[in-house]
Amino acid sequence: MQNKSIKILGIAAFYHDSAAAICENGKIIAAAQEERFTRDKHTPDFPVNAIKYCLEEAGFSIDELDAVVFYDKPLLKFERLLETYYKFSPKGFVSFAKAMPVWLNEKMFLKKLIREGLAEVEDYKSKDLNMLFPEHHLSHAASAYYPSPFEDAAILTIDGVGEWSTAIIGHGKGASIEVLRELNFPHSVGLLYSAFTYFLGFTVNSGEYKLMGLAPYGNPESEETARFEKLIKENLIEIYPDGSIWLDQSYFNYATGLRMVHDNKWKELFGIERRGEEGELEQIHCNLALAIQRVTEDIVLKMAMEAKRLTNSENLVMAGGVALNCVANGKLQKSGIFKNIYIQPAAGDAGGALGAALAANYISFGQERLKADQPDSMFGSYLGPSYSSKEIELMSRKVKGNYTKYEDLANMYPVVAKELSEGKVVGWFQGRMEFGPRALGNRSILGDARNPEMQKKLNLKIKYREGFRPFAPSVLAEEVSTYFDLDEPSPYMLLVAPVKESRRKELPADYNSMGLWERLYKERSDIQSVTHLDFSARIQTVHENTNPRYYHLIKEFQRQTSYGLVVNTSFNVRGEPIVCTPHDAYRCFMSTEMDVLVINEYVFFKQDQPDWENKDKWMVEFKKD
């Protein structure tokens, strides 16, 4: 039986990482985060620009939509807030007084807000839009299960909090999703991890990946690391065999307060002050980061084992913010609990827009499940806007940029690969923008992984960010096991695996007791700039069928150097969303010490640009994240 054509717009908004996605009969057509258009990172604003883009890409008007789907149930969330304030009263009055006017004036009338937001997108006629509101974790579950290649899979979603749920275990079969277990607020793995993000001086809801990157600087053999882990497990949290947790709320302040934790109580427990946002990083901070990372991995593994027990499936799909913890994902993959693991590349709240649309398609409209694609139905997560030659040339005329255009790409790859091999940094902008937090070779900054100075150069002179931050390798899919202990695809940079022993360099016996920066710049392998302190790497496998241009560039780099991988980091500076347009890319190129910019088949060399030494002319201040 032929499915009726069902057109659905999914929306995530009003909290953080606003986004929109559109699908027809379950086929994903477009998806994008609002931050990319407004240049305001993690914006909560209604995604007017992202919706405009999605509708244009799909060729639909608002009046043609069968449903507009919001990614959670606001009234259920409001119920949770009221019950929480009541339970903790009289604590939290200041937080209550701040939150209630916003809810009563805005979020309680969400349908009205959505209609007004859509009116900014276009002048639509329908007075009776079909609006649907799936639960938050169902949206996450749908975002992972429906694009996956599996007809049967265990589902695990873990984040801070949706309405009441903070994690669920589910079972996907055909077109259906069944929720089997829920963990409810205030007990939350995501909020526990965010509490440590806050205490270690990073920004909640954006700095969690910094905490994950800091953890390998912790000394795994140190008594202090072991003591911190013990203190966490004996005071903050109880972890049950099925992965569910209980958090002692006397240590936390997120339920009704304006901060994540009670600073003085944590200082007393761990023996250190909360680190200021730009405070100096010391070994004690690194050891605490490693301790909470280990605790998180323990919980995720236990939850996965429970999901296996409940479903007996060979396959696992994951979403929610904690699913972006690629170190935990790597441990889970290596554990062998499941034969196959699939993680939604836009696992955070932005991906909820896509999940909401897919949940409506299959659950509300009862559509037949599309034949599962290989490796998935995300089209490499290249779901954002692309730009034509005319648009690139128009941008160049406006900025008076100078470029060489390569009609034959086979002539361009050797030029760019040679620049990389000589230690140059290349901005690489191609085709459709990625959906999700990772740059996957269409909005990326590239360097030579062999170059021991590249990590330092990229952090301090290109990204203008903290020097400890690690970088990921993009490696030809067929070459991944040449460099890493990984024998399966990782197309979305969501798995961490060890660098092969054969590529490592011998370290001094006192390596773990050296200072943080001394260890960082100690050569550890022949691919130094993508080898983290614990010999791990966050890997992206590059596949010819999903990104032929990126694949052929790396293939040419391999021909010139015998190394089939490059350093890949997102095309932005600290605090800036990943670039979206050719102008965004050119501005970022000119305001940093990037050497070469490639936009589709157009190559810009820094020294050929007017007034190229005047970086300040192009600088834009972004709030630090």
Chain region(s) in the chain for CATH 3.90.870.20: 389-618
Q: Is residue 270 classed as helix, strand or coil in its secondary structure?
A: helix
Q: What is the rounded distance in angstroms from the CA atom of residue 578 to the CA atom of residue 18?
A: 14
Question: Is it the case that residue 344 has pLDDT exceeding 90?
Answer: yes
Q: What is the rounded distance in angstroms from the CA atom of residue 64 to the CA atom of residue 126?
A: 9
Question: Is it the case that residue 106 has pLDDT exceeding 80?
Answer: no
**How far are the Cα atoms of 432, 490, 545 from residue 549, in angstroms, in the given order?**
12, 18, 10
Q: What is the rounded distance in angstroms from the CA atom of residue 571 to the CA atom of residue 430?
A: 11
Closest alpha carbon to 3 in 384, 342, 333, 368: 368
Q: What is the rounded distance in angstroms from the CA atom of residue 129 to the CA atom of residue 64?
A: 10
Q: What is the pLDDT of residues 154-196, one digit of tens each?
A: 999 999 998 889 999 999 999 999 999 999 999 999 999 999 9
Question: Is it the case that residue 75 has pLDDT exceeding 70?
Answer: no
Angle at 249 between CA 248 and CA 251, to 5 degrees: 85
Mean of pLDDT values over 8-26: 96
List the beta bridge partners of residue 42.
Answer: none
Question: Is it the case that residue 620 has pLDDT exceeding 70?
Answer: yes
Task: Give the model's pLDDT for residue 127.
Answer: 83
Superfamily in which the 183-341 domain is placed by CATH: ATPase, nucleotide binding domain (3.30.420.40)
Task: Give the model's pLDDT for residue 622.
Answer: 84
Q: What is the rounded distance in angstroms from the CA atom of residue 156 to the CA atom of residue 154?
A: 7
- Mean confidence (pLDDT) of the chain: 93
Q: What is the rounded distance in angstroms from the CA atom of residue 540 to the CA atom of residue 85?
A: 44
Closest alpha carbon to 450 in 473, 416, 427: 473
Q: What is the rounded distance in angstroms from the CA atom of residue 13 to the CA atom of residue 16?
A: 7
Q: How many CA atoms lie within 13 A of 86 on its CB side?
A: 6
Question: Is it the case that residue 95 has pLDDT exceeding 70?
Answer: no
- Residue bearing the bigger pLDDT, 508 or 271: 271
Neighbour tally for 62: CB within 10 Å: 18
Task: Give the model's pLDDT for residue 168.
Answer: 98
Mean of pLDDT values over 95-107: 63
Mean of pLDDT values over 17-42: 97
Mean of pLDDT values over 501-521: 88
Tell which CATH classification among 3.30.930.10, 3.30.420.270, 3.30.420.40, 3.40.50.410 matches the domain 7-147+344-377: 3.30.420.40
Tokens of 227: 């003591």
Contacts of 157 (CB under 8 A, 6+ apart): 137, 140, 141, 144, 167, 168, 170, 318, 319, 320, 323
Task: Give the model's pLDDT for residue 100.
Answer: 65
Q: Which helix (H) or strand (E) holds 76?
A: helix 74-88
Mean of pLDDT values over 465-484: 95
Chain region(s) in the chain for CATH 3.30.420.40: 7-147+344-377, 183-341
Question: pLDDT class for 521, splitting at 50, 70, 90?
Answer: confident
**How far are the Cα atoms of 147, 297, 316, 369, 502 from residue 311, in angstroms, in the given order?**
19, 21, 10, 20, 39
Q: Is residue 214 classed as helix, strand or coil in its secondary structure?
A: helix
Contacts of 20 (CB under 8 A, 6+ apart): 9, 10, 11, 12, 31, 32, 34, 47, 50, 51, 53, 54, 353
Helices (H), 232-282: 263-270
Q: What is the rounded distance in angstroms from the CA atom of residue 476 to the CA atom of residue 480?
A: 6
Q: What is the pLDDT of residues 195-226, one digit of tens each?
A: 999 999 999 988 999 999 999 999 998 999 99
CATH number of 389-618: 3.90.870.20
Question: Is it the case that residue 353 has pLDDT exceeding 80?
Answer: yes
Q: What is the pLDDT of residues 272-303, one digit of tens each?
A: 999 998 889 999 999 999 999 999 999 999 99
Q: What is the pLDDT of residues 528-587, one digit of tens each?
A: 999 999 999 999 999 999 999 999 999 999 999 999 999 999 999 999 999 999 999 999
Task: Give the model's pLDDT for residue 87.
Answer: 67
Mean of pLDDT values over 232-258: 93
Task: Give the model's pLDDT for residue 99.
Answer: 66
